[in-house]
Every structure is written in C-alpha cells, then in structure tokens.
Amino acid sequence: MRTCYLHAGMPRTGSTSIQNALLSFKSDRIRYADLGQANHSAPLICSFSESPQDYHVYRNRGLTDKQIAEEVDRHMKAVNSAVLEDGDVIFSSEGIVDHLKPHEIKAMAKFLRDHSERVQVIIYVRPLASLAASQMQQRIIDGLKNFTIPAPQYRKRFQPFINQFGRKNVQFVRYSRDDLIGGNVVSDFAERVGVDEVRLSTPIRNDPWSVEAIGTLYAFNKFTAPQLDGRKKSEALHKLMQNLSGVTGRRFDLSRELIEQHIEKHRGAVEWAERVCGFDLRGTIKDVENPIRSEADLLGAAIPIEPQSPDASTPPQAHGNYPFERRIGFRLAHMARRLLRSR
C-alpha cells in the first residue's frame, strides 16, 4: 500500500528537528519528499494557497510579484514530481495549519488522495502552559508588536484536517517528553512512520533566543518597523537579527499569573481540543526566576549589545556599558524609555 504521511506541526513542537533529521532520507520503502528544502511549508503553501503573495515569508523578503510567481512555479513542480515517485512519501510542514484556509486544505487533501492509497496526518499538540511563551516568542520573531500572548487556535488549526482527512486518519500526539516515544520528537515520528532512526541525519538543534534578544526584536517591531517601508524594514530586520544571533542571556519565560490568565481566557478552546485529542492540554505551569510579567518587563529586558568586529570569532555578547542607541538605532531607546516612563 502506498501511504502519504503528512506531518502538520503544530508550530513550536520540534518540527525543525524532524525536518532536518529526515532531509535527504530515502529507503526502499519510504522517502522524505525532495522539495529542495527541509521545511515543506513554502512548497505546500505555494501549491495550494490562492494568495501565496500574502505568505509572510515572501512579504518579509520584499519579493516582487514576478519573483513570487517564479517561486510558486518552482514549488508546484517539485510537489507534483514528489507524488509521482513510487513508495511511501513523507511531507512535513508546520506552516499549513496557519497559512492554508479550509477550502485550500480541502484541495490539498484531494491532491494527496489522488496520488496515494492512504493519507495519514500526524499532528503534535503542545499543552497551553508551555505553548504560551514559546508561541509568543516566535510571533515576536515574526513581527508581533502588541504585548499579547497568541491564542492557541486549536480548533481553527485542527478542524479542517479532521473534516478533510477524517478523524481516523489524523493522529494527534501530545508534545511532552513523557508522552513521546524515546523521549524526543524525532524518535517518536520515526517510529510512527516506520523509519529506521539510525539512518536519519543528526538534527540541527535550534538554540532558544534569550529574553534580551526577544526584547530588542519586540522594540523594533513596536517602534521602528511601522516607520519603514517593506524593503527597508526587511533589510533593517535582517541586520538586527544578525547582530542578535547568539546573544546570551536569560531564557524567555512568562509569569505564572500571565499563563494562568491565558489558560482561563482560552478554556473553551482547550476543552474542545482535549475532547478531540483525548489527553490533557492545560499542562503544568512551572515557576521560573525573573519571568516576563508585562510589556514594560519585556522592553526593559533589551540590553546593549557590543558590535562584532569583522575578524571576531565569537558572536556579540550582552554589554551593559554600550550605548543603547548604538545597539538598535532608529531612536528605539528614546521611544522605549518614554513608554516605560508613562507606565
């Protein structure tokens, strides 16, 4: 039987580790779809979205309509080629749960069924207690400029897959070390699709961003980005993220109070997901030192970074004596301090 395995995230559940481990994998029975990149989000979104020009990756890169059309054509050819090969195939995209509309997921489901005898969807689901900070951090990296913990959107993300593939063909897995086969997501996924883990590539670990770096990005999103056009914003953000990469500091964590309020606010969404998935999705709130309690805390966490010299062999480090203005520019310091004074 020819089976198509569709790994659909959810975001912040180790998808990058799965993708990097599976990249270039191929056996006599099963293979990871060769779409020219480890993460299949862009190829699948381009192939089934009616408006790929709205995909945030392309907006952030400042691509022209012509360049986007070329990307779409390239990705569609790769996806079509991947489903024509013999044997079982694996696609992995955490982005499709957020960037494909229900009718677009319907089109994707039809396409995959037309080229497979069976489609099995695997979705890792992260409990809200641990998802809150992780998701907020990622949204800040993506451009979030308001101090709001993103909603989990369990129903919006999962219902279209249940509708189009059928509940029996959608496997939900709780993203928790105690629940994962082998204690990690790569081992767990390999077991579920029948891949010999020994033959996988060593996954690349994503080092978490420090709260100092996240605070700086948040200040950029809030004060600087709105003043720049698309291309200038993209260039400035790229340079800023290069300077922040590898900056050490404390971990980005939210306070117990914020997380408790967040869980209560989204109680209905959590209860729906628990009924569908069959396991607890509130999770356990852990007490941490120096958590972020407010927007003022987050802006206050941004600290100066010493610029890296051309011949430096180490990443820039937090440097308390270096002028705030030299670190970020664009008058971020003045605006951030003015906001803090007004609180």
């941490």: which residue's tokens? 288
pLDDT score of 316: 42
- Single-letter amino acid code for the residue at 89: V
pLDDT at 280: 98
**pLDDT for position 127:** 98
Mean pLDDT, the chain cut into blocks of 10 residues (343 residues total): 91 95 94 97 96 83 87 96 95 97 98 97 97 95 94 97 98 96 95 85 69 93 86 83 84 97 98 98 95 95 55 43 40 46 49
pTM of the model: 0.85
Residues of the chain with CATH 3.40.50: 3-128+152-199
| 91: amino acid identity, one letter | F
Cis amide leading into 10 (omega within 30):
yes
For 148, half-sphere exposure in the C-beta direction (CA atoms, 13 angstrom radius) is 9
Fold assignment, 3-128+152-199: Rossmann fold (3.40.50)
pLDDT of residue 205: 58
How much is the pLDDT for 333? 43
Check residue 200 and give its pLDDT.
75
Q: Please list, in sequence order, all residues whose beta carbon lies within 8 angstroms of the beta carbon of residue 64, skipping any fewer than 6 positions away.
A: none
